[in-house]
Structure 1
Amino acid sequence: MSNNKTPMTSDAAARIQSATAKQNGGSVPKGSVASRASSAAAKNSGSGKQGSK
């Protein structure tokens, strides 16, 4: 496992969420990796960690 800390982007979260939804008949379970990724992306975009100011 690597130690680099690349922030979650909304594009990456969307890819994870799409794959999860395909596996679960269109829904993304609460507490899943996809939902956590989406939450992390939202936090990162709100705090400016993606390089946009």
Structure 2
Amino acid sequence: MGKRKMASKSARRIQSHADKTGKNQDFKRRAQSAADKNKGKK
């Protein structure tokens, strides 16, 4: 299986879930950062 790049839509989904559960707050930030980096690589 190849590497998948984080998309903005996926980052938003992860952030929403983290906000609802109160967990993975650090991962939420990293997901958004990865999506922002990948956005410029298209």
TM-score of the superposed pair, with normalisation by structure 1: 0.66
Show the counterpart of 1:36.
30
- Structure 1: which 4+ aligned runs deviate by more than 2 Å? none
- 5+ residue gaps in structure 1? 49-53
Q: CA deviation at 1:20?
A: 0.4
User: Identity over the aligned pairs, expressed in percent?
Assistant: 41
Q: Which amino acid aligns with 2:31?
A: A
- 5+ residue gaps in structure 2? none
TM-score of the superposed pair, with normalisation by structure 2: 0.79
Higher relative contact order (CA 8 A, sep 6+): 2
Q: State the number of aligned residues.
A: 41
Larger Rg belongs to: 1
CA distance, structure 1, for counterparts of residue 14 and residue 2 of structure 2: 19
CA RMSD of aligned residues (A): 1.6
